[in-house]
């Protein structure tokens, strides 16, 4: 699988994860939920994101460094759905 195909597969997987997260957020925000159920579900979602944010950001940065010698910032950005500027910032640890 070449880099382009891998990027497409990654984008498809990311889209599925986003749909799952958004479905969970929609369930949490349902008017049928009681206020305490809604607050508990939202807390769970926020804790899940917060608990893994640093780990995920570090892995993304490391992976971008792996492909950087063979790809432009723009190509990386297109593959991961980020702007060229944001890719540059991530690679610089910002």
Domain residue ranges in the chain: 3-91
> d(Cα 56, Cα 2) in Å, to the nearest integer?
23
Chain mean pLDDT for the chain: 90
How close are the terminal C-alpha atoms of the chain, in Å? 30
Q: Token pair for residue 94?
A: 């910002």
Q: Is residue 64 predicted with pLDDT exceeding 70?
A: yes
pLDDT tier for residue 2 given thresholds of 50, 70 and 90: low
pTM passes above 0.85: no
> d(Cα 84, Cα 41) in Å, to the nearest integer?
35
């Amino acid at each position: 699988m070449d880099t382009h195909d891998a990027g497409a597969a990654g984008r498809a997987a990311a889209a599925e994860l986003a749909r799952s997260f958004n479905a969970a957020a929609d369930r949490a925000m349902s008017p049928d939920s009681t206020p305490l159920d809604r607050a508990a579900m939202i807390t769970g979602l926020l804790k899940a994101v917060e608990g893994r944010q640093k780990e995920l950001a570090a892995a993304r940065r490391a992976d971008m460094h792996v492909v950087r010698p063979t790809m432009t910032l723009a190509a990386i950005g297109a593959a991961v759905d980020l702007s060229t500027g944001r890719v540059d910032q991530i690679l610089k640890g910002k």
